[in-house]
């Protein structure tokens, strides 16, 4: 039946391999996913499941619009992007954190002036400082945010820290943690109603196979 078909949106890059490993672990044939070349829509043979590969924010967009039933996406993107979907499981991989980082030895809170924070995640950053009751100026940067404090654009950055190598190699250090991050399973709200049995069957399989 057409509406039993399930489509999963998977975030390309960093968490992709772990997500494919998980699908394999639950018994799916992931050979097309392992040998995908430049293909963006892949099928899992023997299952009525299609996998699409997309950038993190687009994974959320596809799930929100209901063209994908499931999404596998980092909590970082969920926190920044928001949206209407169910966050149904913490998949446990892709673990890292949001942190406020400064130049080595710097005290972010020193002095009285309003501090400037550079980030690719302005919503996460705004909420974090609002919760702390601290007024900051936020500058949106598209990438290599570590540069901003080095060239004097910002007093600190809010960014993803995994191993800490990028900070270290650029003379920066974590001032404090902002939030933990890991890959999450999200589900379209309507799919969960219309294909409940099939969706929950997959969710159960995934949950059983989490490390």
Nearest to 209 by CA among 121, 89, 129, 70: 89
- H helices within 54-121, ranges in order? 56-64, 75-81
Residue numbers 166-195 binding ligand PRP by CB under 6 A: 166
- Applying CB under 6 A, among 159, 172, 181, 187 the residue interacting with ligand PRP is 159
Minimal distance, residue 55 CB to ligand PRP, in Å: 10
| Residue 69 or 159 with smaller CB distance to ligand PRP | 159
Stretch binding ligand PRP (CB under 6 A), from 20-28, 51-59, 163-171, 196-204 = 163-171
**Which residues are CB-contacts of 182 (< 8 A; sequence separation ≥ 6)?**
74, 75, 90, 91, 92, 93, 94, 95, 96
Minimal distance, residue 146 CB to ligand PRP, in Å: 6
Per rule CB under 6 A, count of chain residues that contact ligand PRP: 9
Q: Binding to ligand PRP by residue 143, rule CB under 6 A?
A: yes
Stretch binding ligand PRP (CB under 6 A), from 35-43, 53-61, 153-161, 177-185 = 153-161
Distance CA 63, CA 158 (A): 27
Return the residue matching tokens 């063209």: 67
**Which residues are CB-contacts of 180 (< 8 A; sequence separation ≥ 6)?**
75, 95, 97, 98
**Residue 152 Rama label (left phi>0; alpha psi -120 to 50; beta):** left
Residue numbers 102-141 binding ligand PRP by CB under 6 A: none
Distance CA 179, CA 132 (A): 13
Stretch binding ligand PRP (CB under 6 A), from 36-44, 109-117, 161-169, 188-196 = 161-169
Q: Binding to ligand PRP by residue 163, rule CB under 6 A?
A: yes
Return the residue matching tokens 């690719």: 120
Q: Binding to ligand PRP by residue 35, rule CB under 6 A?
A: no
Stretch binding ligand PRP (CB under 6 A), from 33-41, 44-52, 122-130, 159-167 = 159-167
Which helix (H) or strand (E) segment holds residue 201: the answer is: helix 196-208
Q: Are 196 and 188 in contact (CB under 8 A)?
A: no
Minimal distance, residue 45 CB to ligand PRP, in Å: 32
| Residue 35 or 165 with smaller CB distance to ligand PRP | 165
**What residues make contact with ligand PRP under the rule CB under 6 A?**
143, 159-166
């Amino acid at each position: 039946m057409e509406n039993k078909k399930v489509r999963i949106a998977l975030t390309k890059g960093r968490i992709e391999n772990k997500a494919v490993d998980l699908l394999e672990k639950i018994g799916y044939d992931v050979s097309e996913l392992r040998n995908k070349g430049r293909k963006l829509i892949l099928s899992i043979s023997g299952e009525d499941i299609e996998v699409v590969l997309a950038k993190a924010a687009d994974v959320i967009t596809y799930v929100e619009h209901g063209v994908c039933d499931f999404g596998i996406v980092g909590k970082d993107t969920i926190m920044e992007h928001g949206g209407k979907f169910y966050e149904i499981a913490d998949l446990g991989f892709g673990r890292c954190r949001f942190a406020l980082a400064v130049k080595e030895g710097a005290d972010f809170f020193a002095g009285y002036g309003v501090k400037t924070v550079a980030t690719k995640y302005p919503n996460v950053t705004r909420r974090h400082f609002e919760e702390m009751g601290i007024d900051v100026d936020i500058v949106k940067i598209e990438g290599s945010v570590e540069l901003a404090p080095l060239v004097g654009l910002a007093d600190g950055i809010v960014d993803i820290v995994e191993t800490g190598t990028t900070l270290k190699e650029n003379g920066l250090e974590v001032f404090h943690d902002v939030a933990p991050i890991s890959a999450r399973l999200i589900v379209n709200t309507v799919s969960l109603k219309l294909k409940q049995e099939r969706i929950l069957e997959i969710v159960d399989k995934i949950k059983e196979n989490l490390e």
